[in-house]
Amino acid sequence: MRSLAQRALHRCRLRVAGPALAGALLAFAPGASAVSILSEDFEGMATSLGTSCFSAYTMANGWLNETGDDGDWLVDANGTGSLGTGPSGDHSHGGSGHYAYVEASGCASDVKNLASPVLDLTGLAGVAVSFAYHMFGPAMGELHFDVSSDGGASFVEDVAAPIVGDQGDAWHLGEVHLGAFDGESDLVFRFRAVIGPSFASDIALDSIEFSTGNAPPLPVPEPGTASLLGLALGGLGALRSRRAAHAPRI
């Protein structure tokens, strides 16, 4: 859990207030009313100077590596340092850009949390989060999605089914619909990575979008591509994913 000072800094610096959204709107999906109010591809962040699982990293753009867990998410490009795990490139820019990841070497079973900025959704509805994830390696761990309605002081864990185990050497797309949290004034979502039993468990994220207002569903999976995740736990949302190696953002 974060310290009181850290939570206060997170809230003061990073809140996206409903009335001020005009300057933060990033895109309207053609033919749809969904509006992206938060978009992150990690391009504006420097790659980590250290790439060990013990390296510390301060995120930018309002993202927060929580304290009280086992370590930090890092920003990287062009492949992680271990063979047989991690992506060879990013998702958002066809392999040439940045992504966030957890380094597994030497940190078996560690838990690392990456929290979003605080979002004020007063008067907004139809909230959803989409993201690209890469989980390749024979000792692959787990990726969980948690939500807080009190600015990150506490979290509802696993609002959608976690992604567990080796998903192959490709980027996939996931989407979480969070209608149960419509209108919240202090919403934070986080990705909680649980590293597997050996080095072959690097987990990466890219192309994160938070949208409101009748968010369109992900495209129908290609024939022969199985959905990796099902209904969310407790009726709080749904997480769907499909194989999408270096698929362009829409």
20 pLDDT more than 50: no
What's residue 34's pLDDT? 57
Q: How big is the chain by its Cα radius of gyration, in Å?
A: 17
In 10 A of CB 122, how many CB atoms? Answer: 13
What's residue 214's pLDDT? 52
Kindly give, in sequence order, each residue whose CB lies less than 8 Å from that of residue 76, ignoring residues fewer than 6 positions away. Answer: 47, 48, 51, 98, 99, 100, 101, 204
In the chain, the percentage of residues whose pLDDT exceeds 70 is: 72
* Pairing, β 74-77 against β 98-102: antiparallel
124 pLDDT more than 60: yes
In 10 A of CB 220, how many CB atoms? Answer: 8
Cβ atoms of 144 and 200 within 8 Å: the answer is: no
Lookup result for tokens 């390749």: 136
Cα–Cα distances in Å, from 209 out to 56, 78, 87, 121, 128? Answer: 25, 22, 20, 15, 8
Q: Select the CATH number that applies to the domain covering 4-243 from these four: 3.30.750.24, 2.60.120.200, 3.40.50.720, 3.10.180.10.
A: 2.60.120.200
Q: Average pLDDT for residues 129-156, to the nearest whole number?
A: 97
Angle 141-133-150 (CA atoms, 0-180°, nearest 5)?
Answer: 85
Residue of 58, 64, 74 lying closest to 12 (CA atoms):
64
Model pLDDT for residues 171-213, shown as the tens digit of each residue: 999 999 999 999 999 999 999 999 999 999 999 999 999 998 7
Cβ atoms of 150 and 2 within 8 Å: the answer is: no
| Alpha carbons within 13 A on the beta-carbon side of 30 | 2
Angle 211-12-74 (CA atoms, 0-180°, nearest 5)?
Answer: 65
Dihedral Cα 20, 22, 24, 25, nearest 10 deg: 140
What's residue 35's pLDDT? 73
- Alpha-carbon gap, residue 187 to 73, rounded angstroms: 21
Tokens of 206: 């890219």
Model pLDDT for residues 235-244, shown as the tens digit of each residue: 333 333 322 3
- Alpha-carbon gap, residue 250 to 63, rounded angstroms: 23
| Residue 225 vs residue 138, higher pLDDT | 138
Sorted by where each begins, the domain ranges of the chain are: 4-243
Burial of 18 (0-12, 13-18, 19+ CB in 10 A): middle
